Amino acid sequence: MLSRMHGEVDLKRQFAEHARDHALKAISELSALLVAGESEMPKPEFQALKQAVASIIGLIERDVLSSIYAKHGDLDDLGRP
């Protein structure tokens, strides 16, 4: 997404790190919400929340983090297999 929005703009390393950290923080917040919701919410509502969170995390992975890692592979928190 980042590269699509801004063409082939080179993500400067410092900004790339910053962007990655924000994206990962967003994922952590969403994950924490799921952990809390699992014990607090009725199952059907939790399943709906889980579905939504999964989709958002997937989009962050696909549209934000992958653009960063394409330019700065060494910043990839999951590393390479």
The residue (of 10 and 21) whose beta carbon lies closer to other proteins is 21
What is the DSSP code (8-state) at residue 73? G
Q: Which range binds other proteins by CB under 8 A, 3-11, 12-20, 31-39? A: 31-39
Backbone angles phi, psi at 40, to 5 degrees: -100, -25
Tokens of 15: 């900004």
Distance CA 18, CA 59 (A): 18
Q: What are phi and psi of 18, to 5 degrees?
A: -60, -50
Draw the binding track, 36-75, toward other proteins (x: CB under 8 A; -: no contact): --x--xxxxx-xx-xx-xxx-xxx-xx---x---------
Binding residues for other proteins, per CB under 8 A? 24, 27-28, 30-32, 34-35, 38, 41-45, 47-48, 50-51, 53-55, 57-59, 61-62, 66, 77-78, 80-81
